[in-house]
Amino acid sequence: MTQFEDRFWSSRDGLSLHFRDYPGGEGRPPVLCLPGLTRNGRDFEGLAERISGQWRVLCPDMRGRGDSAYAKDAQTYTPLQYVQDVEALLEEARIDRFVAIGTSLGGVMTMLLALMQPGRIAGAVLNDIGPVIEPAGLDRIRDYVGQGRSYPTWMHAARALEEAQATVYPKFEIADWLRTAKRVMTVGQSGRIVFDYDMKIAEPFNEPGAATAIDLWPAFEALGKAPLLCLRGELSDLLSAETLAQMAERLPAAEMVTVPAVGHAPTLDEPEADAAIGRLLARLPAGLPAGLPDRVS
C-alpha cells in the first residue's frame, strides 16, 4: 500500500483544510481528486494507490468534510467557495498546472476551475456529472443529505448503506459496503459511527434552485483545451445518457465511457473506469510543468 502524508492548507477565511498527499510524478503535473457533496478525499484511495509513484496525487477534504474544519457560516458551503478553497491550495502548494478528477460536485468544481483558470488544467475526468443535472438525482440526494444518522457498529453502518443504495451498486458484496462505510463515515464523539461531514452542508444545497443556478455549458466547454474523459454510471439518475451524448457533440475529442451496472457515482475502482483513466493519463505529454517547489505544511 502506498504511503501518503496528511497535510493542511488554509482557506482565505481562516479554516484549516486537510488533504492526503501521495508522492510521485517527478516532472508531471499532480493529479487533484475532488470529491462529491457528502464525500471526502478517502473516496479516491484506491485510485491514488494505483497511480501514485508515477503521479503525485492530492486528495483534499473540502471544508466541512473529513479532517477539514467546519465552516463558521453554513452559507459558504457552495461550489464557488469550494473552488476558492482549491485555488488557495494550489497557491500554497505552488502548483501551476494539474490534472483534475472530479466526482459529482467535484466535477462541477473542475468545470468552474477550467472556466476561471484557463490553461491550468492539463487534463480532466468528470465522473458522473455534466452541465445538465437531472432533478430525480438531486431529489434523491436531498432525501439523505444532512440527516445525521448514526450506527452502533461498522456492520450496522454498512447494512444501512446497502439498504439505501442497493440500486446504485447492485453488485456490491458486504465487503464493498464495509469499505464504503469507512470512506464516508467516522467514529463520532459518542462512540457511534456517523457520517463524516457537517450536516449544515445541506442548508445551501436545499435552497430552491441552488443546485442548478449556474449555466455550466460554458464551463464544460472550457475543458476542451486539454484531454478530457467523461464517465457515466449506466444506472445514473444524475447524468442522463442524453446529456452525455450532448457533451460528446460539444467536445468530440473527449472520451465518453459508460460504466456498466453502477449508478451515481462510479467508485473509479471499476475496471472500465480504471482503464479509461489510464488512457487519459497516457494522453498527457511528458514534461508538463507542474509549478514551483511545494511550500504547504
pLDDT tens-digit readout, 160-194: 999 999 999 999 999 999 999 999 999 999 999 99
Q: CA 193, CA 265: separation in Å to the nearest integer?
A: 23
271 residue type, one letter:
P
- Per the structure, how many domains does the chain have? 1
Domain that holds residue 31: 5-139+208-282
pLDDT confidence of residue 288? 52
228 inside domain = yes
Which of 65-79, 155-169, 197-211 has the weakest average pLDDT?
Answer: 197-211
92 inside domain = yes
Residue whose cell numbers read 446504485: 168
Cell representation of residue 234: 449506466
173 inside domain = no
What is the band of 213 on the pLDDT scale with cuts at 50, 70, 90?
low
Which CATH number do you get for residue 10? 3.40.50.1820
154 inside domain = no
Which whole number is the average pLDDT over 50-54? Answer: 96
